Structure 1
């Protein structure tokens, strides 16, 4: 069995999305291959592990491989009990499985996507386009029963009916997907920066052309992501995880503060970070990344510049700053029924700024 097929089966098994035939196939390959059993144990350990502050680049994968080798040949130090050695070893194996879980996974990419986002295996009858404007949301039900909710200023391209081996759609903007299960026909979403293969069901994708980063947030099930310029990398998300893809500079996670900050190395092009999705409060069921589907605009420690972009789509306005320093202000809060002026007045309680409304433009000074 090829490694790409094994990883697909393992992902479906861990997310409880595997069919009986696929389960039997996975058990056969695990029984006959010790190396695959080791990979599966590593991935299973990662799946159950609660620490979601992972980052990745090519250098980090090399470090992980070196760490694994060191764990294999080095005796445990005096301050590590014998029982912990195996735990550390498998956690590093798990990290390696996630960072580059299929070292030669290019096969999956070339089978489903070619350069320029041309579809290789799908033969749709005709294509449909669904577009939303500012302050507008729209729901689409595809021919297979998949339900997609589009956020404002978004565009979805999809076939009238699916006739090939895969079910493929194209997204620009933001959408929430609840994908109909069909183990024989994988569901794939293409965006500007990444391609998402569905191993589970419910997740959010945010990929606006003008935004500096793209995100996908998994609510339940499992998804597998490849990046356009790094097709050999395969990132598998488990529930409650979010993948952030950013061009031009590498971002990392400060675990305690749960913030993103730039790193010193920006030469590697497109990079990504894997973290957990955001709740406004620990005891709050509302998730920031999908709050728009409930007509809520939730933001947590967000810069004024980023919040302004979201407010423009939310209220259908154009926000302009006359002082760039104000773009650095940070806010936390929730909007639901507030008008744009009520929202700005609430922000002014915590930071000192003024605004002026002229037609559909708002000037911050």
Structure 2
């Protein structure tokens, strides 16, 4: 490994641009400490420079988190991020075989892991009621009973990142220049400004991200135990991403009960059915697939103010003699038209 390679890795650490795979490799180095491995091909001068550079960035960060972390035996799953940097120094010092690891990293396109935030705080909701935590950027997080949230007093320069165990509802303050990221044990959810619910059970049950407004990107975190990582998904209002750890599968679905996301009147006085369906799409942000040509000439008089989306569709279908079907991402509305009426 050349001195240039080491400099590149250390600079990524210092800028907070290391990938989860790189972090995992460092964690692997930590686990290898004390075991016999093929020596790393570094000169003595290169090892000294690597060690000095690593410790420079460690000293700037470790004091921000270690004093907030519980003892190692009781430390939660996300509290090991500061150990990784130290592990890298020890690994380089011990001469562990890392060259093959680094060669593999360049081909893995994954989300970056934050390292530049400061003053990490930890909130655990031990009550029987949801509790709202307000972050420095104006984002609010409604943490459900049993949920745990780790968040910084001041966000990093290029991103806003928090860590979650359990369930919480996020209303993210819009900031296009600083993406907001929610890390759970198995997935990363990235948004610009939106509201969404994250359910991250501590067991192997599916992890669910339900979007109310805006859009989010959901991406499984890479793991050495997995042969491949599913591709990320963009999730829209009233959709949810469901990640199954047991099957290593990520899927997009409609939520069970879509909520209204835009203001809309549902009183229609002899209005075209196409107009009614378009209004429902706008109000709930859900795509409704219908044949406008078949529905030409179909008009209805309805007052649907107090009904859910599916209840509205039930009333409309009963009036027209039509039907609808839910798919993973939209609703199929089918009618034979109104020519015979």
TM band (smaller chain)? 0.3 to 0.5
TM-score normalised by structure 2 residue count: 0.42
Specify the structure having the higher radius of gyration (Cα).
2
TM-score normalised by structure 1 residue count: 0.39
